[in-house]
């Protein structure tokens, strides 16, 4: 039995569709239930940012999570496979009419992703003041809370509709299959077998 942490929303849905294709049965969470128990798997529905914690502490053997979250959390996990779903970018964004001055001694950035932001501006040898937010990041520069943002861009609609532009792309992201290090030893055969089945479907 493998337990699998999935991030609520579209990635969970698309991951379950991959499992349906492989095993020829329906995998669907009932209404508001957060656990889906089948013959071979126990699926857990968690918040995207929480997937690494469930897997790190072995509450789940494996998980599916965006590379952006993996980079941000930087936990000691086994990265197995890029599922190629949930594609997006992590970008620096600013108001369309504003030129970002990278020569400033310090820039104020609103973001959910403090670590990615810190690393990115450190590499540029720039001081950064981070304002940690939990959502609606695009609002911050519009009302003077920050000079710019670091956030996920998928279609680009949220930035566009709020008068923001992408200044620079920090990284590309997509959903990855990850495993707990102990589970990867204890349940190696099961995990490798699943890994091979998923790789085959993705080809
Ligand atoms: C994410 C992200 C952007 C938006 C980007 O927010 O933080 O706001 O999606 O998508 P787009 O480029 O297709 O417009 P999410 O929907 O997760 O909500 P949040 O504001 O609560 O983070």
User: What is the whole-number distance in angstroms between the Cα of residue 159 and the centre of ligand 1?
Assistant: 9
Give the residue whose CA is nearest to atom 19 of ligand 1: 135
CA of 103 to the centre of ligand 1 (A): 29
pLDDT of residue 43: 98
Mutation probe of ligand 1 site: the residue of 72, 112, 142, 158 with most atoms within 8 A of C-beta:
158
The span from the CA of 10 to the CA of 133, in Å, is 22
Q: 117 phi and psi, to 5 degrees?
A: -65, -45
Q: Which residues pair with 107 in a beta bridge?
A: 128
Which parts of the chain sit beneath pLDDT 50? none
**Which residues line ligand 1 at a C-beta cut-off of 6 Å?**
135-138, 151-158
Span from the CA of 114 to the centroid of ligand 1 (angstroms): 16
Q: What is the pLDDT of residues 10-61, one digit of tens each?
A: 999 999 999 999 999 999 999 999 999 999 999 999 999 999 999 999 999 9
Per-residue pLDDT, 105: 85
What is the reported pLDDT for 146?
97
Give the Å distance between the CA of 135 and the centre of ligand 1: 8
Our mutation pick for probing the ligand 1 site, out of 133, 134, 135, counting the most ligand atoms within 8 A of Cβ, is: 135
Please report the atom of ligand 1 found closest to the CA of residue 160: 14
**pTM for the whole structure:** 0.94
Tell me which residue of 108, 115, 103 sits closest to 149, measured CA to CA. 108
What's the count of helices (H) and strands (E) in the chain, helices before strands?
Answer: 7, 11
E runs forming strands in the chain: 2-7, 35-37, 41-46, 62-66, 78-82, 88-95, 106-111, 127-132, 148-153, 164-173, 175-179
**pLDDT for the residue numbered 28:** 96
User: What domains can you pick out in the chain, each with its CATH number?
Assistant: 2-86+174-202 (3.40.190.10), 88-173 (3.40.190.10)
The Å distance, Cα 158 to ligand 1 centre, comes to 7
DSSP 141: G
Task: Look at residue 123 in the predicted model and tell me its pLDDT.
Answer: 93
pLDDT at 51: 98
Distance 97 CA to ligand 1 centre (A): 22
């Amino acid at each position: 039995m493998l337990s699998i942490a999935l991030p609520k929303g579209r990635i969970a849905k698309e991951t379950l569709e991959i499992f349906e294709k492989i095993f020829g049965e329906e995998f669907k969470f009932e209404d508001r239930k957060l656990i889906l128990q089948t013959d071979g798997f126990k699926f857990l529905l968690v918040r995207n940012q929480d997937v690494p914690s469930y897997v790190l502490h072995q509450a789940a053997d494996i998980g599916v999570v965006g590379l952006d979250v993996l980079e941000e959390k930087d936990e000691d996990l086994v990265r197995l496979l890029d599922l190629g779903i949930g594609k997006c970018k992590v970008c620096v964004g600013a108001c369309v009419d504003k030129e970002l001055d990278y020569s400033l001694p310090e820039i104020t950035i609103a973001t959910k992703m403090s670590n990615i932001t810190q690393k990115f501006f450190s590499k540029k040898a720039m001081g950064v003041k981070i304002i940690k937010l939990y959502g609606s990041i695009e609002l911050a520069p519009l009302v003077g809370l920050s000079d710019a943002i670091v956030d996920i861009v998928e279609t680009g609609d949220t930035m566009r509709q709020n008068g923001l532009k992408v200044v620079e792309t920090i990284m590309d992201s997509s959903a990855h299959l990850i495993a707990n290090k102990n589970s990867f030893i204890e349940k190696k055969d099961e995990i490798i077998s699943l890994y091979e089945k998923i790789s085959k479907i993705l080809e």
